[in-house]
Amino acid sequence: MANAPTVGIFLPGGSLNTFNSSAASGQVDAYGLTYPTASTRGKMIELGANEAANLTAPNTTYPMLDGAYQIVQLDSGANATYATQGLAAYIKLDSGATAGALPETDFVVPIVTDYTHKDNAGLCAGVFLNQATLNGQSNAPTPGNYTLIWVGAGRCYVNYDSTFANNSPALGDLINAGGSNGTFTDSSASAYGPNTVGKAVTTPAVSTTGVIYASDIFYRLVP
Beta strands, E only, the chain: 44-47, 67-74, 88-91, 111-113, 124-128, 133-134, 137-138, 146-150, 152-159, 174-177, 184-186, 196-200, 209-217
Nearest-CA neighbor of 1 among 43, 38, 29, 40?
Answer: 43
Considering only CA atoms, give the Rg of the chain: 16
The predicted model scores a pTM of: 0.91
| Res. 14 pLDDT band, cuts 50 70 90 | confident
Q: How far is residue 114's CA from residue 119's CA, in Å, rounded to a whole number?
A: 10
By the 8 A CB rule, do 124 and 197 touch? yes
What mean pLDDT, rounded, does the chain reach? 89
Per-residue pLDDT at 108: 83
By the 8 A CB rule, do 160 and 207 touch? yes
Q: What is the pLDDT of residues 56-111, one digit of tens each?
A: 999 999 999 999 999 999 999 999 999 999 999 999 998 766 777 888 888 888 89
Per-residue pLDDT at 6: 54
Residue type for position 82: Y
Q: What is the mean pLDDT of residues 143-163?
A: 96
Q: What is the pLDDT of residues 35-50, one digit of tens each?
A: 667 788 889 999 999 9
| Res. 1 pLDDT band, cuts 50 70 90 | very low
Per-residue pLDDT at 33: 67
